[in-house]
Amino acid sequence: MLFASGGAGNCATSPTHPQTATGVEGGARRSRYAGGVAVVDVSEELKSLSSTMESIEAVLDLDKLRADVAVLEEQAAAPSLWDNPDEAQKITSKLSHLQAEVRKAEALRGRIDDLGVLFEMAEEEDDPDTRAEAETEMASVKKALDEMEVRTLLSGEYDSREALVNIRAEAGGVDAADFAEKLQRMYLRWAEQKGYKTEIYETSYAEEAGIKSTTFAVQIPYAYGQLSVEQGTHRLVRISPFDNQGRRQTSFAGVEILPVVEQTDHIEIDESELRVDVYRSSGPGGQGVNTTDSAVRLTHLPTGIVVSCQNERSQIQNKASAMNVLQAKLLERRRQEEQAAMDALKGDGGNSWGNQMRSYVLHPYQMVKDLRTDYEVGNPEAVFNGEIDGFLEAGIRWRKQQEK
């Protein structure tokens, strides 16, 4: 089947993962030219799509996913499920996620199979409308394949975990505090658009505007694998709304992504190594949230790590949440120490996530650019509204290349 095909522009670019003509890396495409227009062999395109899907299905191991779903469905049907609400929440959340993974893969396979029929109908009937519909569907399938292919790259030790996100204002005064709040909103909006559950553990508000720091959880499997590429220093350049002379200001915010600790991680904390401080929760502008000292701050004396939690009204609940965050930080510390040892053995200094990794420029031009992957978009407003999938995908592919 041969069809004419025109080119299309793309406002987002990623030189480390250039979009091929098919939109699927390595996809075969045979074409000839007639009057300056590329004539595409659709059968070769369809074979390429099917081959890519087979590779994805093999990595996902759909048979194992279906078996895992069956086990979780049995657990979810147990009458005693909600005797332990926390465990029940984990089971139902994991079940929902795996069911969605299986449905997504099965639906995409069905769309690829249906594409051949759609193109055959267009050819037999010589119908331009059907042909246009088939080409639109093919472009959509390629995009979905690209997104699913990224999921197969999440094979790190902790990639399947839920994530804890910590954001802190750095250099830049009130602009940095405002920037930190923008980043918090960006990630929460991203999670909301995906239907991912989030829980804010702690937010420390700045006096004039914005936040000093915040910690929240993204409670979905593979949240850590997706978001871990966001770790590092983010930079904002704009005309400051807080400067009465209207000068351009540069401000910074740090993002830390941690995997949620599981029982198998064996992160034990001796109570004698903790200093526990309680205080009254506060909101924006120093407003009191609770009338009791329910907020909890934990200091791990051997490492100096400090975590706080104030989202619950109970001091006991806040301490439990703060312990979860502290365990996650200690797990990440252990992971970094192990990685540093491996890098030393390889004679490699490793990658410094603490360096600047993304710039958000609002003046004198508008651009958001990842400094590691060179992926960029010209619509900062959309990025701050949670449209960060392109950055996540480029970051995950970049990280995989660095591991080779």
How do residues 166-224 score in pLDDT, each as one tens digit? 999 999 999 999 999 999 999 999 999 998 999 999 999 998 999 999 999 999 889 99
Determine which of 60-64, 126-130, 147-151 has the lowest per-residue pLDDT on average.
147-151
Would the pLDDT of 262 be above 80?
no
The pLDDT, as a whole number, for residue 76 is 93
Task: Output the domain CATH number for residue 42.
Answer: 1.20.58.410
**pTM of the shown model:** 0.70
Q: Is the dihedral of CA 27, 44, 54, 23 positive or negative?
A: positive
The CB-based long-range contact list for 93-100 (8 Å cut-off, 24+ gap) reads 93/197, 93/219, 93/220, 93/221, 94/221, 95/69, 97/220, 97/221, 97/222, 98/65, 98/68, 98/69, 98/72, 98/221, 99/69
H-type alpha helices, 305-388: 315-346, 380-384
DSSP, collapsed to helix, strand or coil, labels residue 297 as strand
> Quick one: 64 and 189 in the same domain?
no
> Quick one: 50 and 97 in the same domain?
yes
Kindly state whether residue 156 falls inside one of the protein's structural domains: no
State the Cα–Cα distance between residues 166 and 98, nearest whole angstrom: 27
Instruction: Extract the tokens encoding 116.
Output: 């051949």
Asked whether 286 and 209 are in contact (CB, 8 A), the reply is no
Kindly state whether residue 157 falls inside one of the protein's structural domains: no
Q: How confident is the model at residue 162 (pLDDT cuts 50, 70, 90)?
A: very high
pLDDT, the chain, mean: 84
Would the pLDDT of 255 be above 50?
yes
> Quick one: 169 and 24 in the same domain?
no
> Quick one: 203 and 324 in the same domain?
yes
Tell me the mean pLDDT in the region 17-23. 37
Maximal C-alpha separation, the chain? 80
> Quick one: 46 and 126 in the same domain?
yes
Would the pLDDT of 38 be above 50?
no
Would the pLDDT of 149 be above 90?
no
Instruction: Extract the tokens encoding 202.
Output: 């702690």
Q: How confident is the model at residue 238 (pLDDT cuts 50, 70, 90)?
A: very high
Would the pLDDT of 265 be above 80?
no
In this structure, the strands spanning 232-239 and 356-361 are parallel
Q: How confident is the model at residue 358 (pLDDT cuts 50, 70, 90)?
A: very high
pLDDT in tens, 268-321: 888 889 999 988 776 665 555 555 678 899 999 999 999 999 888 788 889 988
DSSP, collapsed to helix, strand or coil, labels residue 354 as coil
Kindly state whether residue 158 falls inside one of the protein's structural domains: no
The pLDDT, as a whole number, for residue 240 is 95
Interacting residues of 44 by C-beta distance below 8 A, sequence separation 6+: 28, 29, 30
Tell me the mean pLDDT in the region 144-173. 90
* 163 strand-pairing partners: 218, 259
The pLDDT, as a whole number, for residue 230 is 96
- 275-285 CB burial, b ≥16 within 10 A, e <16: eeeeeebbeee
State the Cα–Cα distance between residues 127 and 350, nearest whole angstrom: 56
Residue 118 identity (one-letter amino acid): L
Would the pLDDT of 352 be above 80?
no
Can you list the positions of beta strands (E) in 86-134? none
DSSP state of 178: H
Question: For residue 100, what are the domain limits?
Answer: 2-151
> Quick one: 57 and 195 in the same domain?
no
The pLDDT, as a whole number, for residue 151 is 84
pLDDT in tens, 66-124: 999 999 999 999 999 999 887 888 888 889 888 988 999 999 999 999 999 999 998 88
> Quick one: 141 and 189 in the same domain?
no
> Quick one: 136 and 73 in the same domain?
yes
Kindly state whether residue 321 falls inside one of the protein's structural domains: yes
> Quick one: 119 and 191 in the same domain?
no
The pLDDT, as a whole number, for residue 264 is 64
Would the pLDDT of 347 be above 70?
no
Q: How confident is the model at residue 342 (pLDDT cuts 50, 70, 90)?
A: low
